[in-house]
Amino acid sequence: MKTVQERLHEIFPPPLKRGLMARIAEICEVSRPTVSAWFNSPEKVSTISRTNAERICQHFGLKISPAWLAEGIGGKELPQGVEISAVTFLHSGNVEPGPDVKGKVPLVSWVQAGAWCEACTPVDVSEVERWLDCPVPHSKSTFVLRVRGDSMTAPTGNARTYPEGCLIFVDPERRAPVNGDRIVACLVGSNKVTFKVFKDEDGRRWLQPLNPSHEPIREPFKVLGTVIGKWEDG
């Protein structure tokens, strides 16, 4: 199987255009040295997150499978009929694009989601607000949350924004996020549940809001699940 470096060079043949790595760093919200390692350091980087692979494919209009680019899984070409830029759901983690895969998942409260901090058990279906279709592959434990506040509302012009009221699909069986993934986490000290960007650089882990007016969270936390999609309700 080709390395991620070989896959990146296959879609961005050398010599790289001036400013390309800086642009990728900007859209993936990572440092310039991180992108350089993606391209040039197989001893340091063997994969990139599918979230970042999707951002790259979407931004540059590539008809490339994010799963192939990120991890070498499946074929290179995007499956027929799948348009990354047109998909409301933004895949991440180990999610394959799959427009024909559907299942009902529950919209739950943040209090119910917080129960995952105490016990890894499914939500009480009798307390579910409603059930929603999720057209991407997901575990049976997947649930939906309605975004509160504006900490994940990105600056104007950023397509990957999560305004208050939008719905996020969370898969609690995906608890090993990589840098840049959107996650729902529980703060260890307070059991507060929050939705943020997972950051992991140089051995440091923290939770990063998209809204620059909010401060990063650097206290210990437990990953409850990775966000596998969003939906603008209404």
Domains for the chain: give ranges and CATH numbers: 4-86 (1.10.260), 104-231 (2.10.109.10)
pLDDT of 184 strictly over 90: yes
Residue 213 pLDDT grade (very low, low, confident, very high; cuts 50, 70, 90): very high
At 135 the pLDDT is: 66
At 220 the pLDDT is: 94
pLDDT of 92 strictly over 50: no
pLDDT of 151 strictly over 50: yes
Q: What is the average pLDDT score of the chain?
A: 80
Return the number of other C-beta atoms located less than 10 Å from residue 20's C-beta. Answer: 14
Give first-to-last CA distance, the chain, whole Å.
43
At 143 the pLDDT is: 87
Residue 99 pLDDT grade (very low, low, confident, very high; cuts 50, 70, 90): very low
Residue 12 pLDDT grade (very low, low, confident, very high; cuts 50, 70, 90): very high
Identify which of 97-106, 133-142, 158-167 has the greatest average pLDDT: 158-167
At 127 the pLDDT is: 65
pLDDT of 89 strictly over 60: no
pLDDT of 182 strictly over 50: yes
pLDDT of 72 strictly over 80: yes
pLDDT of 122 strictly over 60: no
At 86 the pLDDT is: 31
Question: Three-class SS string for the chain?
Answer: CCCHHHHHHHHCCCCCCCCHHHHHHHHHCCCHHHHHHHHHCCCCCCCCCHHHHHHHHHHHCCCECHHHHHHCCCCCECCCCCCHHHCCCCCCCCCCCCCCCCCEEEECCHHHHHHHHCCCCCCCHHHCCEEEECCCCCCCCCEEEECCCCCCCCCCCCCCCCCCCCEEEEECCCCCCCCCCEEEEEECCCCCEEEEEEEEECCEEEEECCCCCCCCECCCEEEEEEEEEEECCC
User: What are residue 77's phi and psi, to 5 degrees?
Assistant: -75, 145
- Beta bridge pairs of residue 196: 183
